[in-house]
Amino acid sequence: MAFTPIDPIPVAMQSMAQAVFDAYYDAHMRQLPTYTDQLNILGGQVEANRVASASSATASSASAAASASSAADAASSALAASAGANATKWVSGTTYADGVVVWSPASPGRFSYRRIGAGAGTTDPSLDPTNWALQLYALGLGGATITGNVSLVSASAAAIKLAPTTHGLYAQLPVATTCIKAALQFVFDNTTGECYYGIKDGAGTVLGWVAPGKTAVLGLTDNTTTAGVWTMTEISKIGITASYDVPTWLSDSVVPTRVAIDTNRTLLLVRVLLDGHYAIVYDASSRSWGAPVLVRAAGGATSYASAVLSATNQVMVASAVGTTLQLVTLTLSGTSVTPNTPVSATLTSVIGDLGELNQVGASWVFPYVLTGGGTAYARAVLLTGTAPTIGNEVALAGRLPMPLVFASGSVARIVSVVTSALYCEPFTVSGVMLTAGASANTAASSTTTNFRAFMNGNGNIVAVYVDNTSQRGAIFKLTGTTEAVTAVALSAANTDVYVELDYAEISASKTVYMTTTPSGAYAGIITDTAGTISATTLSLPNYAIGFNSGVTALGVSGTVARFAGAAGANGMLQIRLECAGTTPVLLASQISTTVAGSRQARGRKGERAWGQLSAGVTSYLLSSSGNAPTACHLPNSLRTIPALDTRLGFGAPGAANETWVVVGSPLGTSIKRIEAAA
């Protein structure tokens, strides 16, 4: 900037001799014109400098604004690239494939939208939610309200209001490698929602659910993998993922049977007491239910049914009402159910119970028990297209409880119990004919009261049963059509009453079992050596388990088996057994003072109880009453998690991590699918 200095003005002295004063005064007066000129020049320079400074400030401000604008543009570009990579401008009338991402020229932020189903249109994506889904944007650009499924990206809005209108919806988190580790990545608010909303990681694994009335906060602690490691608050590991109300089923006793149709569809056969047997289909891919279809009319308490997938898009149902046995096939199309022409047979007495349909070769075999003396029978069924043909009934050696059927090629092997022995009877199945082979039975005992059996990896049937003197085990081996048996005591002689027993398979030849009595609990290992049984027993400490309650096998990891039980009347227990040798070794027991879950006995063929779910290495035991906490069993510990806020009623197990519950009342019935996450 220009600056001209002003020359100093000589001082005009006042008190001095006249001659001296004249000289000073003369010098002072001569400098005044120069001073005036210099002062004017300086003033001009000051003004010029002021204008220059103002111009510079304006330029700087403009430059800063331009820089900020450029930064915003860059950020917007980065966000747009992250939210919809390779997105192009939407063009009216253009046909887009399903899943294509475009950016909207009409939206203020030119946001990206993903096509829902292939098609074309003239409505901008920002105004067409039916055909276009908004790809959520970055933290700081505002929140979002979600009513359906959504796939989030690293730039998605952090504040998400959930408004699901149905169960079974999910938000998939971004691929973790695209995210920055942070304490807060997303907030999911479901405080006003009425349905559970699921959360999946970037790899598609379900992490849990945001329950109605809850708000979940998620942070990212590890971003080195696609899934990442997320910190989560208020995420439930148990969730309702499907629900259907049937107000016309006016009963408080409804019992379901579940049949898997394919990857997405499930058929439930529901017995509604005093009403009848109904079939209903759920399709998980579309979260849709079909209408309930009556399969068999009411028969009161003496009405039983069983169902099995008999062909692609076909289910066969066996039912018995009073003294009438009926077989019918159901043809499925999507979620629609069409009953075909039923075939009937007359029973010699009123039905007492009906067993499951078991495929043996090209036929199906099922057992049943009649009330007249508790006699047990079996029949074969042959399907020709949609038409079943029923064979004659064949009497079995056993009585109650229900016999169990196992298939070895074209031979049906039926295990049943009488008061003095356990029997295994082989029947060659040809069409609807059952031809008996040579059976085998265990040695007589005073009273045989119950049994469980399964076919091991060697093709032999392992059975565990109880009498008045001990808990016993047996192995049945089939050669041709002839059975052979060996049996052994599983515990020391005692006069205790049998309470509960369960088992877990360690290998094809090794089974670990646990049994409880009022005065003690036992664990042991059964070894199958070419069809010959041997067993060792471990007597557990009396304090280790509540002996008057059930015991449930949770699973096996390597050679370590886990069992759940009750710790007296006021807690729960987990026992771990090392089964590498021929005798189990008690590794540890965890005990809780909280009453949680229901140690429901597994089925007598080892099928999972409906209240037991597993996800990864975690087992969950639901409370059948629905108001106690859920027991959560981990490999080395146990704890409780809050119960679902719903009554559970009766259920049927589905996949390992799901169960189907039917809750009936005089005011109607609800069907719910419950799932668990690891």
Q: Tell me, letter by letter, the H, E, C secondary structure of 24-87.
A: HHHHHHHHHHHHHHHHHHHHHHHHHHHHHHHHHHHHHHHHHHHHHHHHHHHHHHHHHHHHCCCC
| 200, containing H or E segment | strand 197-200
What is the rounded average pLDDT of the residues 429-447?
Answer: 87
pLDDT, greater one: 676 or 86: 676
pLDDT averaged over every residue in the chain: 83
In terms of Cβ atoms closer than 10 Å to its own Cβ (0-12, 13-18, 19+), residue 553 is buried
Identify the band that residue 67 occupies on the pLDDT scale cut at 50, 70 and 90.
very low
Higher pLDDT, 566 or 416: 416
Q: pLDDT by residue (tens digit) across 346-368?
A: 998 899 899 999 999 999 999 99
pLDDT at 227: 96
- What is the per-residue pLDDT for 254? 75
CB 414 within 8 A of CB 396: yes
CA–CA separation, 458 and 526 (whole Å): 13
**pLDDT higher for 474 or 29?**
474
What is the structure's pLDDT at 46?
Answer: 55
Contact present, 157 and 138 (Cβ < 8 Å): yes
Q: Tell me 9's DSSP state.
A: P
User: What average pLDDT score do residues 416-436 get?
Assistant: 92
Answer with the residue of higher pLDDT: 118 or 63: 118
pLDDT-derived band of residue 129, with 50, 70 and 90 as boundaries?
confident
Q: How many CA atoms lie within 13 A of 283 on its CB side?
A: 13
> In sequence order, which residues have a C-beta less than 8 Å from that of residue 67 and are 6 or more positions away?
none
| Cβ(510)–Cβ(528) below 8 Å | yes
Across the beta sheet with 150-151, what order do the strands follow? 150-151, 169-172, 197-200, 206-210
Percent of the chain scored above 90 by pLDDT?
A: 53
Measured in degrees and rounded to the nearest 5, phi and psi for residue 175 equal -60, 120
Confidence of residue 460 (pLDDT cuts 50, 70, 90): very high
Q: Quick one: pLDDT at residue 66?
A: 35
Lowest pLDDT segment from 52-56, 74-78, 116-120 = 74-78
Q: What is the pLDDT of residues 188-204, one digit of tens each?
A: 999 999 999 999 999 99
In order of 2, 42, 410, 505, 552, the CA distances from 53 in angstroms are: 12, 16, 102, 88, 86
Which residues fall within 8 angstroms of residue 548, CB to CB, at 6 or more apart?
499, 516, 518
> What does the pLDDT average to over 112-140?
81
CA distance 394 to 411: 15
Checking if the pLDDT of 101 tops 70, the result is yes
- Binned at pLDDT 50, 70 and 90, residue 180 comes out as confident
Average pLDDT on 517-536 reads 87
Is residue 78 very low, low, confident or very high in pLDDT (cuts 50, 70, 90)?
very low
The pLDDT confidence band at residue 35, using thresholds 50, 70 and 90, is: low
pLDDT reported for residue 70: 37
Averaged over 249-276, what is the pLDDT? 87
Flag whether pLDDT at 310 surpasses 80: yes
Tell me: pLDDT of 546 over 60.
no
Q: Which of 251-255, 307-311, 404-408, 536-540 has the lowest mean pLDDT?
A: 251-255
Q: Report the percent of the chain where pLDDT is more than 70.
A: 79
Element (H, E) at 309: strand 303-311
Give the CA distances from residue 282 to residues 261, 279, 333, in Å, rounded to whole numbers and listed in that order: 10, 10, 12
In 391-542, at which residue ranges do the beta strands (DSSP E only) sit?
394-395, 404-408, 411-417, 422-430, 433-436, 440-441, 448-455, 461-467, 471-479, 482-489, 500-505, 510-517, 520-529, 532-540
pLDDT for 6-34, tens place per residue?
566 555 555 556 655 555 556 555 655 56
Per-residue pLDDT averaged across 273-290, rounded? Answer: 92
The DSSP code sequence of 137-176 is: --TTS--EEESS-EE--TTS-SEEEE--SSSSEEEEPPPG
Residue type at 357 in one-letter notation: L
Q: Is pLDDT at 94 greater than 50 in this prediction?
A: yes
Give residue 446's pLDDT: 55
Give the other-Cβ count within 10 Å of 287's Cβ. Answer: 16
Band (pLDDT 50/70/90 cuts) for residue 317 is very high
Reported residue count of the chain is 678
- Return the structure tokens found at 179: 């995210």
pLDDT at position 498 is: 55
Cis peptide leading into residue 401 (ω within 30°): yes
Per-residue tokens: 609: 């109880």
What is the reported pTM?
0.77
Six-digit token string for 494: 């005692």
Average pLDDT over residues 293-299: 87
- The pLDDT, as a whole number, for residue 445 is 60
Question: If pLDDT is split at 50, 70 and 90, which confidence band does 63 have?
Answer: very low
Query: What integer pLDDT is reported at residue 81 of this predicted model?
Result: 45
pLDDT tens, 571-613? 788 899 999 999 999 998 888 877 777 667 788 888 888 999 9
What average pLDDT does the segment 390-395 reach? 96
Cβ atoms 325, 344 nearer than 8 A = yes
pLDDT of residue 71: 38
pLDDT bucket at 47, cuts 50 / 70 / 90 = low
Q: What is the pLDDT of residue 72?
A: 35
Amino acid 509: pLDDT = 96
Find how far residue 291's CA is from the centre of its chain. 25
Instruction: Say which residues have a Cβ less than 8 Å from residue 201's Cβ, sequence separation at least 6.
Output: 172, 173, 176, 207, 226, 227, 228, 230
Q: CA torsion, points 57, 61, 64, 65, in degrees to nearest 10? A: -170
Query: Which region among 162-176, 213-227, 464-478, 543-557 has the lowest average model confidence (pLDDT)?
Result: 543-557
Mean pLDDT for 308-330 is 96
pLDDT per position as a tens digit, 486-516: 998 886 555 455 567 788 999 999 999 887 7
Phi, psi dihedral angles at 285 (to 5 degrees): -65, -30
What integer pLDDT is reported at residue 68 of this predicted model? 35
Statement: residue 4 has pLDDT above 80: no
More confident residue, 42 or 659: 659
Residue 552: beta bridge partners?
A: 564
d(CA 283, CA 259): 13
Is the predicted pLDDT of residue 59 greater than 60, yes or no? no
In this structure, the number of other CB atoms found within 10 A of the CB of residue 447 comes to 10
Number of H helices, E strands in the chain: 1, 54
pLDDT for the residue numbered 108? 61
